[in-house]
Amino acid sequence: MKIGNKEFDVNRNCYIMGILNVTPDSFSDGGRYNDIDSALRQTEKMLSEGMDILDIGGESTRPGYTKISDEEEIQRTAPVIEAVKSRFDVPISLDTYKFRVAEAGIKAGADLVNDIWGLKYDSGEMAALIAKTGAACCLMHNRDNMDYTSYFDDVIADMEETVEIAEKAGISRDRIILDPGVGFAKSYENNLEVMDRMDEFCKRLGYPVLLGASRKSVIGLTLDLPSDERLEGTIALSVIGAMKGAAFLRVHDIKENVRAVKMTMAVMKGYRNGQDMH
């Protein structure tokens, strides 16, 4: 799979997506990187620690977040995308579900649209934009209720609807990543189950999968820890994700997750073929 000018071997490797929130209110790092200089410094640090792709977000999606206008989100993200692109050779993901923000972001240099509503937020505009521009996309499971009949089967059905929207819009199959949506429209037990069954999620849907569980409440509830003390829990979930077939892991702490995943991949396949692990 090609994202930007980089090739990703999604069948054999597990890649690290670094989180850069240019927001004042994200649950974990709000306000830390919402000026260009600090955003660039953080990008440089994450690249030096082994990040493969950078995910830039301009609107927090934490529980109880404040929705902002398209214009404000564009003002937060587009200049940072341009600045990062001009200085670093790294694929950029833009974390937005608004097609106007995505359009401005792609013009600024974003290579991938990370849509937490899985193309279901609007009436097809986001899907049409992604198809027209040829951008890659990560499409997440989400819904506005938790009225599941058969939870895991319903998640799969929801994702199949998302894939159908993508296909009808003309988005190429090799441009699509799916995300089970840990922390979105799911109970504590639902989150644990979707991660435990990620190998099934991968097989039934047949697309590369991204796991985004870094510092999330499922860790806080399990370990009774605040968001800034959830590193070990995140690493545990990254290892589980890698072992269950995730091609991408979206995380805050690059170095520690890179090391954990490299060790995991060595155990899983390194002794068999001696190939260089990513």
The set of long-range contacts for 190-194, using a CB threshold of 8 Å and a minimum separation of 24, is 190/146, 190/148, 190/151, 191/216, 191/218, 192/218, 193/151, 193/152, 194/141, 194/152, 194/155
Beta bridge partners of 211: 249
Place of tokens 């934490």: 62
**Torsion sign (Cα): 134, 162, 215, 61:** positive
Element (H, E) at 112: strand 112-115
Query: Residue 71 CA to chain centroid, in angstroms?
Result: 23
Tell me the catalytic residues: 216, 250
**59 touches 100 (CB < 8 A):** no
Q: What does the alpha-carbon distance between residue 76 and residue 206 come to, in Å, rounded to a whole number?
A: 34
Name residues whose C-beta falls within 8 Å of residue 160's C-beta, 6 or more positions apart in sequence.
205
Question: Which residue type is seen at 225?
Answer: L
